[in-house]
Amino acid sequence: MRYSSIDPKLFINNRKRFVEQMKPQSVAILSANDIMPTNADGMMDFRQNNDMFYLSGIDQEETLLVLSPDAQDQSMREMLFIRETSEKIRIWEGDKLTKEKAAEVSGIKNVQWLQDFEAVAHLVMFDAENIYLGHNEHIKSSTKQMQTREDRMIAWCREKFPLHNLERAARITSGLRIVKSEEEQALIREACRITSEGFRRAVSRLRPGMYEFEVEAEVTYTFLKNRAKRHAFSPIMASGKNACALHYGDNDDLCRDGELILMDFGAEYANYCSDITRCVPVNGRFSERQKQVYDAVLRCLKKGSKLLRPGVLLPEYEKKMAALVEKELIGLGLLDAEAVSNQDPDRPLYKKYFMHGTAHHIGLDCHDVGNRMEPVREGMVLTCEPGIYIREEQLGIRLENDYLVTADGPVCLTDSIPIETEGIEELMAKSQAPA
């Protein structure tokens, strides 16, 4: 793998905690993601299924993980099935995992070839009553999805074992993944460090007349150079009016003198994500109005992030964040205080300028698993990202950091990335000074 090797104790502990929550006489089968096609014989870059990676550390296609904690044969309690390589595969695709290497990465002693899975599955199913299976479950996931390897495994189990009960593996993994272990925190910190480097490189090269995709290219270069295989999500490089489109992603416009560019991006390192947003002046200097709005958003970020403490309910947190933004909008002259006091609570006036939530879990997914109705707990990693979008002024500002929740308060994992206007102007002045 491109990233540095991970201690298998992480995956061993994850499996231990997973099987502790399985019902007695159960088998769990987790599947790798498919490699998706583009056109003709082209294929998309492979991205591992997060639950598979979380429980095994295996980052290769055509992999199955079988957990059968009550199996009488102890060697069958943890089994990994991987693609058998060949000389032809080596010639066309390069080396694949050997059984020995897969065992080293995962900490699983029993590693077999994928073609042996069905015969072994029938053995472990004989004494089982329940089958835990994976599926893409997320509060924001689309209901219209193409068939996946997980879907095919569900259909196969229903056909082969019609009298077994099917259980949702995601009911367990989502509860486990929401709190990050120290090892996971270290991986997220590395993703944040790489993101910081990407920001600094992009800003140091930003000039009026550059295209947004050129700014993106500087970030991408830094990510690849630092062992991050990809962006954690499609990066947003939105200059001028484009910053008022929340999910703008074309990144093909010109960065003009006097505009701000909103940069929302994050590195993915070892499948763990980061996510930051910064707004910087294309010419290196904030105008008075830009600074006024920017500082209003920054005050919301500083005050709001302090609310991310154990026991807080995210819906209540979001209400408090909205109140902070609402107050700033009144101060900026965008809302009338009397009109706000008389507003319909179901149609708040601030929605014209601030229309999104400000916190989401982050981990193996950028929008990571997590029940928003459960209290915030120590070890969670969440974003804080207030924004103000003034379309009539073609000015959009959002600021975002990643925070680790601790008993002593939130710890900012992205504090190495400049965020004060003075710090940003100073950084840009150094890079734009004549040689």
DSSP letters spanning 324-392: HHHHHHHHTTSS-HHHHHTS-TTS-GGGGT--S-S--B-SSSSS----TTSPP-TT-EEEE--EEEEGG
Does the fold of domain 182-432 match that of domain 9-177? no
Can you give the residue ranges of every domain in the chain? 9-177, 182-432
Tokens (6 digits) for 318: 């979001």
Q: Tens digit of pLDDT for each residue in 191-221?
A: 999 999 999 999 999 999 999 999 999 999 9
Region 263-276: mean pLDDT is 98
Rg from Cα positions in the chain: 24
CA distance 180 to 368: 11
Cβ neighbours of residue 34 closer than 8 Å, sequence gap 6 or more = 61, 148, 149
Q: Which amino acid is at 80?
A: L
pLDDT in tens, 160-193: 999 999 999 999 999 999 999 999 999 999 999 9
Residue 31: phi, psi to the nearest 5?
A: -115, 150
Long-range contacts of 90-94 (CB under 8 A, 24+ apart): none
Residues 399-420 have pLDDT tens digits of 999 999 999 999 999 999 999 9
| Fold held by 9-177 | Creatine Amidinohydrolase; Chain A, domain 1 (3.40.350)
pLDDT tens, position by position, 8-40:
999 999 999 999 999 999 999 999 999 988 998
Per-residue confidence band for 370, with pLDDT thresholds at 50, 70 and 90: confident
Please tell me the predicted confidence (pLDDT) of residue 371.
Answer: 87
Global confidence as pTM: 0.95
53: which 2 tokens? 């990676």
Class level of CATH domain 182-432: alpha beta
Selection from 378, 178, 352, 199 nearest residue 275 by Cα: 199
